[in-house]
Chains A and B, each alone.
Chain A
Amino acid sequence: MNHSFEVDGVEYQLWLSRCREGYRLCLHDRVIAPIAFSHRRDGCGVVMIAGESQPVRFAIDGETIHVHMNGETRSLHYCDPLRTLARSRQEISQTVARAPMPGVVIVARVSPGEAVSAGTALMTIESMKLETVIRSPQDGIVERIHFKEGESFEQDAVLVTLLEERT
């Protein structure tokens, strides 16, 4: 089972192996070797990739690692398989409307217990100075509204939880 990182919403699978000169990185379409990392001081180091040295700055924040190299910055999120694989199932049994971006709740358009159909407006949020309507991904009953009016939330936060409607 490969390790998995998410960068800018895209999943990358990889595996690291040891080799004589350091490590070997197996990506889905190629292998890069040798690679190595040497720490210089806190948050600074040098990455050697196939013979070329590249100074890097980095910060590790839980399962997210922020890297600056060659003038660019990326945040790589390590996807712990135990969590990511366990979560996928929950989302099937319970439908949630997530925040497409961070923002603030302007108004909740439904109340818990209310039956909604796919496409029903659940909530109006404001983000990037624009109003966005969060719509129901499917038919169901509103179980919970997670944020009050005026409250702010992060990207991917669960805004509304729905229960599948039973017949």
Chain B
Amino acid sequence: MHELPFDSVLIANRGEIAVRIIKTLRKLGLRSAIVYHDIDAGTPAVSMADAAIAIDGRTPNAAYLDIPQIIAAARKANAGALHPGYGFLSENAEFAKAVTSAGITFIGPAPESIELMGDKIRARNFVQRHGFPVAPCAIEEDDPTTFVRRARAMGPPLLVKPSAAGGGKGMQIVRDIGLLEDAIARARSEAQRYFGDGRLYVERYIETPRHIEVQVLGDALGTVAHLFERECSIQRRFQKLIEEAPAPGLSSELRQRICDSAVGIARAANYRNAGTVEFLLSGGEFHFLEMNTRLQVEHPVTEMITGVDLVAEQIHIAAGRPLRLTQSDIVPSGHAIEARLCAEAPERGYAPTTGKVLVLDYPSGDGIRIDSGLSRDQKITTAFDPLLAKIIAHSPSRVETAQKAHRALRDLVLLGCTTNASFLARILADDGFLHGHIHTGYLEEHPHIAAGDPRADLSGFLAAGALLTGPVRESADAVSDLHAALGSWRN
């Protein structure tokens, strides 16, 4: 690689994505710096970075959202560039502007692109204007007085979404039109609290669509290439759990149309850097959902099938270089599946779990990639998103990949905090999933997958628990041979 205009990159993020970015920085011979809240001290990302700068805030989350502190940290670390990762400030146009004005290269799209795509209503209108398919919807700000009436007119089911939506927060499904106003009120309260922006719109809700998204890369010269699609239909509450590439059972004609649309939208937006255009696919028809102007959590599946290091490409583009890849260079191979290991209990309604990592042992092997920011003794709190690590498998066929990922999840040992590993393994072994009969409502339609088997035989665990618990063993050992031999004899 040619000499880059910067030699040090500040990572304004934490956890697995920070580790993943550091790995590429090391490969590129760049110095890494990271900001961290005290709660993350000692985590792998902080230990691995060449420099680590503490930041604080009212809550840990607030620290990672504190633009002035992060800019100051970047200056302090002498960072020539900044990678925002995903979440936090990654899609905050103000942040991108502030970084740029500080003379630091923002590894991501231009603030205008973030702004355009960050406002879901504007993005939708933009896409529609350029002739790409969108879902019917009622937008509040078009005419607030008629908003509810217009929404109601579309008929159920409906989806109430904040204009500043992200990560599924504040979305409400309305199946009974009578509950529409309640849902609007609830969505507004959450949107106001999460995004400081209570603007809403209502879309026709498609019950069982597939979530297909396309990874794109665009450069400053207006060249855009796609790295094929990802299927992210296995979700719970609009949050992706299992992602794969390529999407199963897609005809090459449909795949082409979807990828072309993504490239078209990115090109129309003059999009620079890595981005993802998301579509909903239903009955052979697809429409634009939103565009994410950052690196996605699920980017590794694309990397696995294309062999492209997306973070390296992001840095390359941010450095002002033209795309190194032409569309024809990008040839997918095999199938990749990612499973998101989260600190939550699907068996208990996905309740978040907390704890401390006492034992951590990831599986390894050919075609297995683990993106993790966890280490032993680390505390798992509810301060952040419950994502702990990603287990990614790659092999020639989908079924083989699912089996490989399944085995990896069963072999993974994380003790000290309940995770969704068994649940993910159950999905990967599910017949419907293996046959590719998936859609975004799949888990709701098959609640037994999340519930697990409540009557599962725990005797093995109880045996191990009994043998390993001091008081239990002591009380057994306290009984003499004779009395133990007589058992519960009564006269």
Contacts and interface: CB of A to CB of B under 8 A. Distances in A.
A7 B461 contact: yes
Interface in B328-382: 344-345, 347-354, 356, 358-359, 361, 381-382
B411 A17 contact: no
A102 B353 contact: yes
A100 B348 CA distance: 10
Interface in B219-275: 237
B352 A69 contact: no
B382 A73 contact: no
For the side of the interface on B, what is the size category? 35 or more
B413 A68 contact: yes
Contacts of A19: 484-485
Contacts, number: 172
A40 interface: no
A12 B415 CA distance: 21
A73 B421 contact: yes
B465 A76 contact: yes
B125 interface: no
Contacts of A61: 356, 358, 416
A54 B460 contact: yes
A74 interface: yes
A71 B425 contact: yes
B347 A8 contact: yes
Contact of B466 (A14, A18, A127): A14
Nearest to B465: A76
B293 interface: no
Nearest to A70: B460
Contacts of A18: 476-477, 479, 481, 484
A128 interface: yes
Interface string B410-426: 11011110110110010
Contact of B351 (A32, A43, A128): A128
B325 interface: no
A131 B190 contact: yes
Nearest to A49: B463
A3 to B, nearest CB: 5
Nearest to A126: B193
B459 interface: yes
Given A12-B462, A56-B464, A71-B411, A66 B351 contact: no
Q: Which of B193, B237, B352 has the most CB of A within 10 A?
A: B352
Interface residues of A, number: 58
Contact of A76 (B352, B358, B462, B473): B462
Contacts of A72: 410, 422, 461
Contacts of B469: 3, 5, 65, 76, 78
B286 to A, nearest CB: 27
Nearest to B419: A73
A69 B462 contact: no
A36 interface: yes
Contacts of B383: 152
Nearest to A77: B465
Contacts of B348: 8-9, 101
B463 A25 contact: yes
Contact of B468 (A54, A60, A73, A74): A60
11 contacts: A14-B466, A27-B459, A32-B463, A47-B463, A59-B359, A61-B416, A67-B465, A70-B460, A73-B413, A102-B382, A128-B344
Interface of A: 3, 5, 7-9, 12, 14-19, 23, 25, 27, 30, 32, 35-37, 43, 47, 49, 54, 56-61, 65-76, 78, 80, 100-104, 106, 127-129, 131, 150, 152, 154-155
Given A36-B467, A67-B415, 7 more contacts: A5-B469, A16-B467, A43-B358, A49-B460, A69-B460, A129-B169, A129-B237
Q: A-B pairs with the 10 shortest C-beta distances?
A: A71-B410, A59-B358, A66-B415, A76-B465, A37-B467, A59-B415, A101-B351, A16-B476, A18-B484, A74-B461
Interface of B: 58-59, 167-169, 186, 189-190, 193, 237, 344-345, 347-354, 356, 358-359, 361, 381-383, 409-411, 413-416, 418-419, 421-422, 425, 458-469, 471-473, 475-477, 479, 481, 484-485, 487
